[in-house]
Every structure is written in C-alpha cells, then in structure tokens.
Amino acid sequence: MTPTLTVAREVRALAPGFTHLVVEARGLVNGPGDARSSALLDDAARRLADRLGGRRPHEDPHIAAWREAYAAFGAKPSRTRNSAEALARRALADGGLPRINLLVDLYNAISVAHLVPVGGEDTDYIQGGMELVRARGVEKFETVAGGETVIEHPEPGEAVWQDATGVTCRRWNWRQGVRTRLTEESANALFLLERLSPMPLDTLRAAAEELAGGLRMLSPGAEVTVYEPAQ
C-alpha cells in the first residue's frame, strides 16, 4: 500500500518554495553495486563538475536555498549539510562517491547529477503515512553509533520525516534511519525528491523521470510510478 505523504504547515512556513516528487517502485531486484551502478556514479560526478564549472557546491543557488532552510530551523548548514550538498562534496573529493548497493547507488547518482536531495525508503518497513514535521524533541530515531544500534532524539523544532513508529530522516534530508533504509533485500521502495525555489519544477520532474528510467534498467520487471503528492 502506498504511504500517504504530508507536509506540516509549520515546515512550509520555513521554505514556501518547497516541493517534493515521489517515485514508487514494486518488484525491484536489489543487490551489491556493480559495473552498471558504478558507471552511473562516475557519470554523475562528471555532470556535477560540468554544472558547477569550478564553483563549490554551496555556491549553487539550489544548495544555497537549502542552507537557508536549514538555518531557519536552527541547524548549522556548514556542519550538518543537506544530503545533496554532502554527496556533491564527496563526488568532487579524492575517492569519490561511496558504492553501497544498486538502488542506493542509483539514487545517489541522480542526487549528484541534478544537485537535488533524494532519499529512498523500503516501503515494507514504513508504518502508516509519512509526514514532514517540526519535531518536539521526544521522537525516536534509530541509527548506528560505534557499530551498535542506538536511539537518538531530534532537536526541538528540527524538520524531520516520520511515520507512525518514529523518525525516518533527521534534519529534513540529512541522515536517514536504519529501520527503513534500502538494503540488498529490498524489493519495494519509495524515493523522495525534494526541491526548493529557485530550482524549476521541470528540473525536479526530469530528475524523477531519470530515476524511474534507472530503476527500470536495473529491475526490468519492476512496476515504477512517478507522481506528485498534493502540495
């Protein structure tokens, strides 16, 4: 069943130009990264370098807008970077982007190539609907520290995605929780692409369609749908 996605009014007040698109897929075949996903990551890094033309990622207008949104809910953008900026920095550094698994490599490549935050959730582990809210500070967030699973709590006022069980992603799109992350066993997934003004909506749509095409390439038998939730 497709989870509903809602955005709280108090989050929209932080960034009135916020829009998100969803790519939903069922019947995926995931596994370790291979030559196909590695090539996607390498191509994304080249596209990013061409796009920036020598600038640093935070000098891109879209990333600058995310920094303003982070500052609006009390995060320090230079310390807790949005996921697109963090990946872009890694793509341009020695060593490049990490190789994780087919699905994560694909959506990381889309994020880097388009400089847009992209997250992937295993829908088999999402409980109820998902909502983007400002945290009260008591919500549970499952993560890993020192090789052990631990429970953290977001800061009061922090923008977080959550479902009926707890927080699935902290600081809007900064860090994903372990409960709903995509593993090599994941077969059903929801990918969330997030955009702020001044990025044109058509650019976000192009990124979503490219992601959908990549999913069909990696999993030819999968059912893939792109849709725009009610904003």
Domains of the chain, residue spans: 5-227
- Give pLDDT, residue 65: 97
The model's pTM is: 0.96
Select the CATH number that applies to the domain covering 5-227 from these four: 3.30.429.10, 3.50.40.10, 3.40.50.920, 4.10.220.20: 3.50.40.10
- Give pLDDT, residue 1: 66
Q: What phi and psi, each to the nearest 5 degrees, are found at residue 137? A: 105, -5
Q: Quick one: average pLDDT of 82-102?
A: 96
SS3 of the chain: helix, strand, coil, percent, to 5 = 35, 25, 40
- Give pLDDT, residue 2: 78
- The 10s digit of each residue's pLDDT in 32-73 is 999 999 999 999 999 999 999 999 999 999 999 999 999 999
155 pLDDT band, cuts 50/70/90, is very high
- The 10s digit of each residue's pLDDT in 164-192 is 999 999 999 999 999 999 999 999 999 99
Residues 191 and 103: beta-carbon distance below 8 Å: no
- Give pLDDT, residue 116: 98
